[in-house]
Amino acid sequence: MSAESELLEKIRVLSRPVRIMHICGTHERTISRYGLRDVLPAEIEVLSGPGCPVCVTPEEEIDRAIALAESGVIITSFGDMMRVPGSNGSLMDARSRGCDVRMVYSIDDAIAIAKKDPRSKVVFFAIGFETTAPTNAAAILRNPPENFSLLLSHKLTIPAVSELIKEIEVDAFIAPGHVCTIIGVHPFQQFAEQGFPIVAAGFEAVDLLLSIVMILEQMNGSGKYSAENAYPRAVRDEGNVRAQEMMYRVFEITDSQWRGLGTIKGSGLKLNPEFAKYDASVIYADLISEKMKNISYEKSASSLCHCAEILKGKEKPDNCPLFSKKCTPSTPVGSCMVSQEGMCYNWYRYRGADSA
């Protein structure tokens, strides 16, 4: 008997009606790819939360990056981010209009571009959760050249979950494994104490099934919940303390805007004053405001899509009128259709467009 079928058997024994939300795009990818929703008992509902950094980046932040690209700055970013539409196309569209937009694998690739041509202005569009922010902090602590800067769009997981539990109906959470690699499991304990069992999971089908077993065991137990770790091969309970220290040496907490969720207090990062010389939003404030002054966000194409409700687990992709019609992986309207971690992308790819 395989580990998966043993875990599924355990789940069948422990099963009860429950709504479990994961908050990680890579979890969604595993769940969709292996069709886990189809093999779980029907009373166990697995919802996809706002766990894909590309998906939660709002149009305004993309527009800021495009404004810089249109002003002659070299914009560098991870591949997925380049195809997400802002209010007037994506970074990729800006590139096709002649802007210098380059895809990088790591912040260090972007720094190398800046070093190679000291007269250029190179900006790294820094997105991602607590997993990615420390890598950018580490690069800044190595004193990159002054023609290099960061356009920050980092998001923090814990404040987003705090907001979500106020307005959605879920019973338990699967915590994002690689975020937990950095911040540990302890910060999630507050949600357990508020009545939500929460288990950090890895990214294989067995990891996710194990986390569901652990959630059900908690729910069938004494009623006292806790934040548990189903991914000990990569996650220490206290996380990577050195990475946390580096992150908060370089960045400080600020409010941040999320696609679909609005502004969440304390959910973003900005550079500490000591590192302000690397803050593209300060260095190029005039260029950005000049290009952004005529943009209206009320009538943009993506305001028709249901990304906001999908990111909160309130709707499924096929509730969206654009899904698989106007919005497909080759012509995404909303952010959830772009990334391999997006709910709509995974729904489209693994369930088939004809299921809509």
Partner 1 sequence: MCIAIPGKVTSLLDEYTAMVDFGGVERQIKLDLLGGCDDALLGQYVLVHVGYAISLLTEEEGKETLALIEELMEGE
3-state SS string for 148-163: EEEEEEEECHHHHHHH
Contacting partner 1 within 191-210 (CB under 8 A):
203-204
- Distance of closest approach, residue 63 Cβ to partner 1, in angstroms: 20
Q: How far is the CB of 120 from partner 1 (least distance, A)?
A: 21
Q: Quick one: which of 339, 344, 347, 348 contacts partner 1 (CB under 8 A)?
A: 339
Among 58, 176, 260, 313, binds partner 1 (CB under 8 A): 176
> Which residue from 49, 50, 51, 85 is in contact with partner 1, where contact means CB under 8 A?
51
Q: What is the rounded CA–CA span in Å between residue 350 and residue 341? A: 12
Amino acid of residue 1: M
Q: From CA 309, how far away is CA 173, in angstroms rounded?
A: 18
> How far apart are the C-alpha atoms of 208 and 11, rounded to whole Å?
12
> Interacting stretch for partner 1, rule CB under 8 A, among 7-15, 232-240, 266-274, 305-313?
232-240
Q: Does 181 bind partner 1 (CB under 8 A)?
A: yes
Q: Is 3 in the site for partner 1 (CB under 8 A)?
A: no
Closest distance between partner 1 and the C-beta of residue 177, in Å?
A: 8
CA angle 288, 154, 260 (to 5 degrees): 85
| Region from 64-72, 170-178, 186-194, 327-335 binding partner 1, contact rule CB under 8 A | 170-178
Measured CA to CA in angstroms, residue 46 lies from 1, 249, 304, 343 at distances of: 24, 37, 25, 12
User: Taking CB under 8 A as the rule, does residue 58 contact partner 1?
Assistant: no
The closest of 20, 45, 125, 28 to 83, measured between CA atoms, is 125
Does 283 bind partner 1 (CB under 8 A)? Our answer is no
Size of the site for partner 1 (CB under 8 A): 43
Unique residue bearing structure tokens 């369930």: 351
CA–CA–CA angle 252, 255, 256 (5° rounding): 110
Residues 114, 243, 288, 338: which binds partner 1 (CB under 8 A)? 243
Q: Which residues pair with 18 in a beta bridge?
A: 44
Question: Using CA atoms, how far apart are residues 315 and 298, in angstroms rounded to an integer?
Answer: 21
Pick from 24, 46, 67, 250 the residue near partner 1 by CB under 8 A: 24
Task: Give yes or no for residue 272 binding partner 1 (CB under 8 A).
Answer: no
Q: Which stretch binds partner 1 (CB under 8 A): 6-14, 172-180, 209-217, 291-299?
A: 172-180
Assess contact for 39 and 15: CB atoms under 8 A: no
Terminal Cα-to-Cα distance of the chain (whole angstroms): 34
Q: State the residue for tokens 């009538």.
A: 299
Shortest Å distance, C-beta 101 to partner 1: 18
Token pair 């070299």 is at which residue?
74
Contact mark string toward partner 1, 113..152, x via CB under 8 A:
--------------xxx-xx-xx--xx-xx----------
Residues that bind partner 1 (CB under 8 A): 24-26, 51-54, 78, 80, 105-109, 127-129, 131-132, 134-135, 138-139, 141-142, 176-179, 181-182, 203-204, 233-236, 240, 242-243, 246, 339, 341
